[in-house]
Amino acid sequence: MSTIPDDLSYTKEHEWVAGIEDGLTVTVGITAYAAEQLGDVVFVEVHAEAGSTVAAGDTVGEVESTKSVSDIFAPVGGEVVEINPAVVDDPSLVNSDPYGEGWLFRVRVEQEPDDLLSAAEYTALTSGES
Amino acid sequence: MPDVKRSIRPSEVRMSRSTPLRGVHESLGATLTDFAGWQMPLRYGSESAEHNAVRTAAGLFDLSHMGEIFVVGAQAGEALDRALVGHLSVLAPGRARYTMIVNETGGILDDLIVYRLDEDRYMVVANASNYALVARELADRVRGHNARVTDRSDEYALVAVQGPRAAGILAALTDADLDDLKYYAIVPGVVAGAPALIARTGYTGEDGFELFVANEHAVPLWNALAEAGKDAGLVPAGLSARDTLRLEAGMPLYGNELSAAITPFDAGLGRVVRFDKPGDFVGKAALERAAENGTRRRLVGLAALGRRVPRHGYPVTREGAVVGEVTSGAPSQSLGRPIAMAYVDEGALDKGGLAVDIRGSQEPVDVVDLPFYRRSK
């Protein structure tokens, strides 16, 4: 079973959100559970450009594996400040290090989001599915 | 990521059937998927690693969902000549043929491998999704011949070992002479203590073997092969790798490239239709017309210029107009770019400038010869 780090927040769409320092710039990626379900990721694209504003729930990109293609959603609203060039270049980072090198993008938020799932809630969600 | 949830489908898990190897797959940590009503291993770990292992070493597959239908009797060959598009009565005992069963209008009901086990005994191997229909059709079509059709799919497991090291791995476990076993041939033998039909056939584009054994021998056979192949780099391989391997090898998949709406000529497989055999066969008149009229669309290979993957059902376009449809697509390990098979209008093929509409974006593709991958001998 895949790991679910305690110090991250999660969404029902199998994304994780990590706060940085001031709590106002967050990093977004997809969970190890999702990466396992997808299989080998071969293509990652974040359409939203750095500097653009997104709303929570917006489709901001897509991740493609050998067998499937899935949308990437913005789990929080705010300004996209950075897209991970390494994961665009080497999409397999999503499989090999989903919570680290395989992060997707960073968003500056107005306030700390409070409607995300805790690690315990996300664990319950994924154990119900498998 | 909505697809993640959709891919799990718990209600189907309960309804679908399992092969004798399901417990082995689970203990190996396989991701299982529903395929044609069966719980089958999609992958064990990385599907690209499994794909590459089959290309460079060997892979072990559970194909027990496939159907085995026996046609037995003094007129079994003649009966199959009438039932199928191929000329099976002239097949030598111990040899196999790729063929098809079509309906009266020439539409493909399934693609098959027919093995002639001996003078009056044939084994027809059909796809999981179709074998019940194939068995019914065969029973119906052989009437009037001295031949009996028995669907023995529930009794047989099928384990394949595929890849350049397959022969070496299998040789250590059997007394059968594999050097004498040609491509598309079959011989009875004992493998790791299990009585087996050993066929040199496959669906990967590599050398390899398909081993038909009684259900109770499946697990010990699998374990013996896994152990014997460990040092040679043999790995268990799932349906995901099987699909990319067969796609690279330009082999059609029923439900993607082949269907009842498609004749063997549409699929570029007119060579399997043997008008030169004696007598009538089901679909003959329709197929003669199809052969004469030619086809409007042709099955071709496409290679994408970008990294996005053309997939089943995506439109093929030229200057904004739809000129075809993708039947299968995947990232190709061997070519390093996405590949696809597609039916494309004859008129558009000469002109170039083809694209695939990938979720609204026109991604340029080259038309390339099939197969995409051919093993070096």
8 Å CB contact between B306 and B361? no
Which domain range does residue A81 map to? Answer: 10-111
Residue-level pLDDT at A127: 86
Residue-level pLDDT at A112: 73
Does residue A1 form part of some domain? no
User: Per residue in B179-202, is it b (16+ CB within 10 Å) or e — as a string?
Assistant: eebeeebbbebebbebebbbbbbb
User: Cα(B329)–Cα(B332) distance, rounded to whole angstroms?
Assistant: 9
What six digits make up the tokens of B355?
A: 């694209």
**Contact list, A43 vs chain B (CB under 8 Å):** 307-309, 331
Interface predicted TM-score of the whole assembly (ipTM), two decimals = 0.84
Q: Is the CB of residue A129 less than 8 Å away from at least one CB of chain B? A: yes
Does residue A128 form part of some domain? no
Does residue A117 form part of some domain? no
Nearest to A129 among B5, B42, B331 (CB): B5
Does residue A107 form part of some domain? yes
User: Cα(B148)–Cα(B85) distance, rounded to whole angstroms?
Assistant: 19
Residues 6+ apart with CB under 8 A from A74: A28, A48, A54, A55, A56, A57, A58, A60, A107
> Bigger pLDDT: B352 or A114?
B352
Q: Is the CB of residue B7 less than 8 Å away from at least one CB of chain A? A: yes
User: Cα(A42)–Cα(B338) distance, rounded to whole angstroms?
Assistant: 10
**Contact list, B3 vs chain A (CB under 8 Å):** 38, 68-70
Residue-level pLDDT at B178: 97
8 Å CB contact between B94 and B70? no
Number of domains in chain A: 1
User: Cα(B212)–Cα(B117) distance, rounded to whole angstroms?
Assistant: 12
User: Average model confidence (pLDDT) for chain A?
Assistant: 91
| Tokens 């991701």 -> residue | B31
**Contact list, A39 vs chain B (CB under 8 Å):** 31, 42-43, 46-47, 240
Nearest to B46 among A40, A45, A63 (CB): A40
Interface of B with A in 226-285 (CB under 8 A): 240, 243-244
Does residue A125 form part of some domain? no
What six digits make up the tokens of A45?
A: 């694209």
User: Cα(A19)–Cα(A26) distance, rounded to whole angstroms?
Assistant: 4
The beta strands (E) that lie in chain A are given as: 9-10, 15-20, 25-30, 41-46, 53-54, 59-65, 69-73, 78-83, 105-108
Q: Is the pLDDT of residue A23 over 80?
A: no
Residues 6+ apart with CB under 8 A from A22: none
**Contact list, A95 vs chain B (CB under 8 Å):** 46
Share of chain A above pLDDT 90, in %: 83
User: Cα(B195)–Cα(B172) distance, rounded to whole angstroms?
Assistant: 15
Closest residue by Cα to residue B109 from B76, B83, B78: B83
User: Cα(B81)–Cα(B362) distance, rounded to whole angstroms?
Assistant: 46
Instruction: Give the model's confidence band at A3: pLDDT under 50 very low, under 70 low, under 90 confident, else very high.
Output: confident
Does residue A29 form part of some domain? yes
Contact B48 A40 (CB under 8 A): yes
Residue-level pLDDT at A4: 93
For an interface test with A, the pick among B1, B244, B305 (most A C-beta atoms closer than 10 Å) comes out as B1
Type of residue at B258 = L
Q: Is the CB of residue A89 less than 8 Å away from at least one CB of chain B? A: no
Residue-level pLDDT at B116: 98
Does residue A124 form part of some domain? no
Calculate helix-pair angle for B131-141, B76-83, nearest 10 degrees. Answer: 110
Specify which residues B17 forms β-bridges with: B38
Could you give the domains of chain B?
A: 2-64+155-248 (3.30.1360.120), 67-131 (3.30.70.1400), 296-377 (2.40.30.110)
Residue-level pLDDT at B292: 95
Residue-level pLDDT at A129: 61
CATH of the domain at A30: 2.40.50.100
Q: Digits of tens for pLDDT over chain B (377 positions)?
A: 444 434 444 444 456 899 999 999 999 999 999 999 999 999 999 999 999 999 999 999 999 999 999 999 999 999 999 999 999 999 999 999 999 999 999 999 999 999 999 999 999 999 999 999 999 999 999 999 999 999 999 999 999 999 999 999 999 999 999 999 999 999 999 999 999 999 999 999 999 999 999 999 999 999 999 999 999 999 999 999 999 999 999 999 999 999 999 999 999 999 999 999 999 999 999 999 999 998 889 999 999 999 999 999 999 999 999 999 999 999 998 899 999 999 999 999 989 899 999 999 999 999 999 999 999 86
Checking phi first, is residue B196 left (phi over 0); if not, alpha (psi -120 to 50) or beta? beta
What six digits make up the tokens of A107?
A: 């968003």
Does residue A4 form part of some domain? no
8 Å CB contact between B131 and B17? no
